[in-house]
Structure 1
Amino acid sequence: MKNYLWNMFANIKNGQMAKKSVIVEPKKNICESFLKILWDEGFISGYRISPQNQNKLEIFLKYTKNGKPTISSLKFLSKPGQRVYYSTKQIWKLDSCKTFIIFSTNKGLKSINECKKNRIGGEPLLIIN
């Protein structure tokens, strides 16, 4: 399940380093929910199902006015060999102003602000700066 996510994270990172405007990824439900969070928070310009192939997603990368990518770094927190889980109390101690964290919860993928609002814990997947 998460292999698709990790591949997509790496491709987004590499696409922005290569200054690409669009990257193409396989269409998976978990990838779409991750992209929805990125789009809602303003890290990407958008995404859509490819008109040529219904099993592919086109992701439109976003850059600032001076050409720098909006996602400066993607850092993985929980890895297959070393899982990390945060309770609700631990999530409240994290500063959501400086970093943006995406959690895998029993309610699906959620941002740190949604986890605080809904009072749920989970596995932190990555930090976006």
Structure 2
Amino acid sequence: MTDPIADYLTRIRNAVMARHRVVEVPASNMKKEMTKILFDKGYILNYKFEDDGKQGIIKIALKYHPETKACAIKHLERVSKPGLRRYVNARELPRVLNGLGIAIISTSQGLMTDKEARTKNIGGEVVCYVY
């Protein structure tokens, strides 16, 4: 697999379109941090890290509206790809949907949202957009 982050986003996107409640994803440190960010920002209901003797599994419980059955995640988009990385400095950090969505940025201080990177005045690699 050449792009495990794109696979992570695609598994979540497919589970949302199929209206699944839980999706299982192979674990890595970067995927764990992305899952924590999605949980903190309210895009997923819950998550659990399980050890299976190999690399581990992340179980993600997706969040749906109780009446309209609409998922909290409308769009997941991979920005920086293995063939074309996208780096930005602190002044060029993207705003997703005028601040309604988030951009996950990989910085020298770890993964964080665009808003956190803006307050810390650091740039990095734009991993994905979520709204």
Q: TM-score, normalised by structure 1?
A: 0.88
Question: Match for residue 124 of structure 2?
Answer: 122
CA distance in 2, matches of 1:101, 1:122: 11
State the match for 1:14 in structure 2: 14
Task: After TM superposition, give the deviation of residue 90 of structure 1 in Å.
Answer: 1.1
Is structure 2 residue 88 aligned with structure 1 residue 86?
Answer: yes
Residue identity opposite 1:74 in structure 2: L
Aligned residue in 2 for 1:40: 40
Name the CA distance, whole Å, in 2 between partners of 1:49 and 1:101: 23
Aligned to 2:73: 71
Equivalent position of 1:57 in the other structure: 58
- In angstroms, what is the RMSD of aligned CA positions? 2.0
Matched, 1:30 2:36: no
Moved over 3 A (4+): 93-96
| Separation in 2, partners of 1:47, 1:2 | 25
TM-fit CA distance, 1:88: 0.7
Q: How many pairs are equivalent?
A: 127
SS, match of residue 37 in structure 1: helix
| Contact persistence 2:9–2:78 (CA under 8 A) | no
Letter aligned with residue 50 of structure 1: E
Between the aligned partners of 2:2 and 2:71, the Cα distance in structure 1 is 24
Deviations 1:27-85 (A, max 9, x none): 2111110000000000001111238x362121101112311111101112212222111
Mapped to 1, the partners of 2:85 and 2:5 lie a distance apart of 15
Question: What stretches of structure 1 of length at least 5 have no aligned partner?
Answer: none
Q: What is the alpha-carbon distance in structure 2 between the residues aligned to residue 85 and residue 2 of structure 1?
A: 19
Q: How far apart in 1 are the matches of 2:58 and 2:46?
A: 10
Q: For residues 45 and 18 of structure 2, what CA distance do their matches in structure 1 show?
A: 17
Shift of 1:2: 8.0
1:72-122 CA deviation, whole Å, 9 max, x = no partner?
01112212222111101112x736523311011111111011101111101
| Identical pairs, percent | 29
TM-score, normalised with respect to structure 2: 0.87
Q: 1:100 aligns with which of 99, 102, 106?
A: 102
